[in-house]
Structure 1
Amino acid sequence: MSRTELLRLVFAQIFLHATMTGLRLAAPLLALSKGYSAGAVGALIALFALSQIFLAIPAGKYADHHGVRRPMGFAVLAAAVALVLATAFPTIPVLCLGAMLTGAAAGITVIVLQRHIGRAATSNAQRKQFFSWLAIAPAISNFIGPFGAGLIIDHAGQASGDLLAYRICFAVLAVLPLLTWLLVMRVRELPFEPYDPKAAPTHAWDLLKSANFRYILFVNWLQSASWDIHSFLVPILGYERGLSASTIGTILGAFALAAALIRMALPVIAARYSEKRVIAASCIITVGVFAIYPMVSHAAEMVVCAIVLGASLGCVQPMVMSLLTQVTPAHRQGEALGIRLMFINASSFLMPMVAGSFGALIGVGAVFWVVASIVAVGTPVVGKIQLRDNEMPPEKNL
């Protein structure tokens, strides 16, 4: 894969993912302006992840049988239709539908593009670099989507009224999936297994028979849960410390910025260190930061903790993608990525509720220490992952 084609895929994901993140900002704001409760808004936001839980594995299988362009065509169509409907009918039921459609489109895009670049790589080192570059896309889109949507709503609202401002925002967001399609339609397809209706059906859960596959999913869950719990608990901890909303926002912003910046440096890191070393180091740093967090009280100290944790957790996803590609047969990598995405979204949906329940029982600070203990106990699993450089394990090992 040439550098030009890789950059084309990075920007394709940026545009599609920014469609979802922009709507994820605008839809709750519109719901609040219509008088809906915080609970209703929370349910609306949950719909962005809910559709990915159920569609991840089918999307992965579909990508295995149809390559890049066909599944990406459905993702682009779903996102564009969602925003066109929101533009024409900016009502809460339509926004709920839009949340599920754009969430599904973003999930399909992640699976399809990760599968494609993983198979396009010719060595483990190149695979790590490809995944490192692709990991920059969500970091960028998580900024430009909400930031752009917010600017449009604020400035268009001053000139034309609030509801029209939201319509303009949705219309602009509807253009982004079309840009994604213009980039993806030029991608060179790699060989894939055509769908044979007479073939015996495969079951995605068969992949869990591989010990390596289970270890990688578990390690990925440790890191993802740490990310989700940090994002959920820091506002509560900051409130208990008497910090202002803007200060708490600064702490979370520092975490996101560190995660984005480290991903820009990952191609260099990936060229020097193995996936297992990077993930193990991330686990150790995560344990240390979670152990320290409840003991700091000043905003500056919390910002430092957030920066260190963001840089640590930001390294993990590309390394996990590289490992999954190595332990999965080439014609089932879409299924493997679908299983991973399903687990991650299910965790993102459940962990804030679990952490909140424990926080009410034992205190927010104690939850940080519980998470640190869990990650510490789970870290040795990284060493159990067994790989063979530049060699794909045969399917019979699964």
Structure 2
Amino acid sequence: MHAAAPPKDLRKAFPAVIVTLIAIHACMAVTRVASSLWVLKQGYGEWTVGVLLSLFAVAPILLSLWAGRLSDKHGFHRPVGVGVLLALGGALVAVSWQSIWTLGLSCLASGGAIAVAAVAIQREAGLMADDASQLKKVFSWVALGPALSNAIAPVMAGLLIDHVSFRAAFALAALLPLLAWGLAQRVPRHPPAPPLAGTKVRPAWDLLRMPALRRLLLVNIALSASWDSHSFVVPVVGHARELSASSIGLVLGSFAVAATLVRLAIVRWAVHLHELKALRSAMLLAMLMLGLYAWLPGTAGLMFGSAVLGIALGSVQPMVLSMLHQVTPADRHGQALGLRMLTVNSATVAMPMGFGLLASALGAAAPMILMASLLLLAQWPARALKSP
């Protein structure tokens, strides 16, 4: 298969691509916050929260490589449509009935939805850049999607839970995939070029023969797990300190706002930014704050710690996606993105359950201290990376 030239008017649809990602990701973010708070309110405990959060990573393990092949073969709309159907179905289950089983199914479906849709969206966005500098800008905007949804969705979910009901929060999650599909129709359809005669499509695993991609994936795994530890610890620490759902939403929102701002800064100064230096600096800052987070005082302290982590971890994804596109062949970007999604979710699927066990046995600080140690080890592959 060879890469087809994108249509000239594709860049005009870039805002629709980004907002499509925001809407689908916000469905997952609302489901994640509402499900976590529901099980804690029912008295299930931290380990159950960990199980639910792990479910968000199960479906991507099964679907990511398939999503990559689907994107390389069909382009943008088909995988996004699959993601919309998964997100909508999962949200409607939670709206219909709240139980540990229905919420588990909802978490599973919304996790699969973002995995399938995000691979296609990231691939589509990469077609809108002509060089490495533009890749950093494009993927900073792409990374703003989850950051914006994480800034808005937890606050909205918390307000709906406090002032209306859990069902209202899940109803919001059901509306968001419909918005995403409407926006996706604004993106021009341009199927990729068919494979050349006699060309055999190689499996995604073949890409792991590339040392640069292997190292990049290892670093990405450590940073993604650190992000997951924050998502787990905030509701647990907030519940233990008897914070309201709205306050917990504000703490989560401060992380997302900081991640949004740092990604906007990358858009502005992408030309002057050294990818590897930025990546290594972010890892060091995240490692230090993860070690201190659980001892920060009050809601304001937690908001400050979350904001610092948002700056560190929020700056990483544009760098990783930009480097990934530079070290892999253009006609296999979908496979590489699917492989990234698979490795991240495979490595972190057990993390929330492990976080729950650690928090129950050793206290809320344990998951973040574990992640700080993991980031320390990840400095080794990060040091071995070279600029593309």
Q: Is this a same-fold pair by TM over 0.5?
A: yes
The structure with the largest alpha-carbon Rg is 1
Q: What is aligned with 1:181?
A: 181
TM-score, length-scaled by structure 1: 0.79
How far did 1:29 drift?
5.5
Looking at structure 2, the residues matched to 363 and 89 of structure 1 have their Cα atoms a distance apart, in angstroms, of 32
Looking at structure 2, the residues matched to 230 and 133 of structure 1 have their Cα atoms a distance apart, in angstroms, of 22
Looking at structure 1, the residues matched to 356 and 161 of structure 2 have their Cα atoms a distance apart, in angstroms, of 32
Contact kept? 2:60, 2:111, Cα under 8 Å:
yes
Q: What is aligned with 1:392?
A: none
Give the counterpart letter for 1:178 in structure 2.
Answer: L
Give the counterpart letter for 1:203 in structure 2.
Answer: P
After superposition, the CA RMSD in angstroms is 3.6
Greater displacement, 92-101 / 315-324: 92-101
How far did 1:127 drift?
0.9
2:137 to 125, 129, 139: 129
1:73 aligns to 2:81 (yes or no):
yes
Percent sequence identity over matched residues? Answer: 36
Q: Deviations over 1:325-365 (max 9, x none)?
A: 11111121111111211222233322344456667888876
Give the counterpart letter for 1:37 in structure 2.
Answer: Y
Distance 1:328 1:361, change over 3 A: same
Q: What is aligned with 2:44?
A: 37
Q: What is aligned with 2:319?
A: 319
1:56 to 37, 61, 64: 64
Partner secondary structure for residue 206 of structure 1: helix
Looking at structure 2, the residues matched to 277 and 181 of structure 1 have their Cα atoms a distance apart, in angstroms, of 38
Looking at structure 2, the residues matched to 291 and 156 of structure 1 have their Cα atoms a distance apart, in angstroms, of 37
Looking at structure 2, the residues matched to 177 and 234 of structure 1 have their Cα atoms a distance apart, in angstroms, of 26
Distance 1:126 1:361, change over 3 A: same
Q: What is aligned with 1:282?
A: 282
TM-score, length-scaled by structure 2: 0.81
Greater displacement, 193-202 / 138-147: 193-202
Partner secondary structure for residue 121 of structure 1: coil
1:109 aligns to 2:114 (yes or no):
no
Looking at structure 1, the residues matched to 91 and 44 of structure 2 have their Cα atoms a distance apart, in angstroms, of 23
Distance 1:42 1:196, change over 3 A: farther
Contact kept? 2:51, 2:353, Cα under 8 Å:
no
Give the counterpart letter for 1:131 in structure 2.
Answer: F
How far did 1:375 drift?
2.7
Contact kept? 2:154, 2:252, Cα under 8 Å:
no
* Structure 2 unpaired stretches of 5+: 1-8
Q: What is aligned with 1:22?
A: 30
Looking at structure 2, the residues matched to 45 and 291 of structure 1 have their Cα atoms a distance apart, in angstroms, of 22
Contact kept? 1:135, 1:317, Cα under 8 Å:
yes
How far did 1:186 drift?
2.5
Give the counterpart letter for 2:186 in structure 1.
Answer: R
Contact kept? 1:80, 1:178, Cα under 8 Å:
yes
Q: Deviations over 1:259-289 (max 9, x none)?
A: 2322232212323202212102112223443
Q: What is aligned with 1:378?
A: 378
Contact kept? 2:58, 2:349, Cα under 8 Å:
yes
Looking at structure 1, the residues matched to 233 and 339 of structure 2 have their Cα atoms a distance apart, in angstroms, of 27
Q: What is aligned with 1:346?
A: 346
Give the counterpart letter for 1:83 in structure 2.
Answer: A
Looking at structure 2, the residues matched to 20 and 355 of structure 1 have their Cα atoms a distance apart, in angstroms, of 20
Greater displacement, 209-218 / 332-341: 332-341
Distance 1:336 1:12, change over 3 A: same
Contact kept? 2:11, 2:128, Cα under 8 Å:
no
1:143 to 151, 154, 157: 151
Partner secondary structure for residue 127 of structure 2: helix
1:268 aligns to 2:275 (yes or no):
no
Q: Deviations over 1:354-391 (max 9, x none)?
A: 45666788887687666445433432533433344xxx
Aligned length: 376
How far did 1:320 drift?
0.3
Distance 1:71 1:353, change over 3 A: closer
* Structure 1 unpaired stretches of 5+: 158-164, 389-398
Contact kept? 1:326, 1:387, Cα under 8 Å:
no
Contact kept? 1:327, 1:387, Cα under 8 Å:
no
Give the counterpart letter for 1:106 in structure 2.
Answer: I
Looking at structure 2, the residues matched to 149 and 359 of structure 1 have their Cα atoms a distance apart, in angstroms, of 25
How far did 1:169 drift?
4.9
Partner secondary structure for residue 89 of structure 2: helix
Partner secondary structure for residue 223 of structure 2: helix
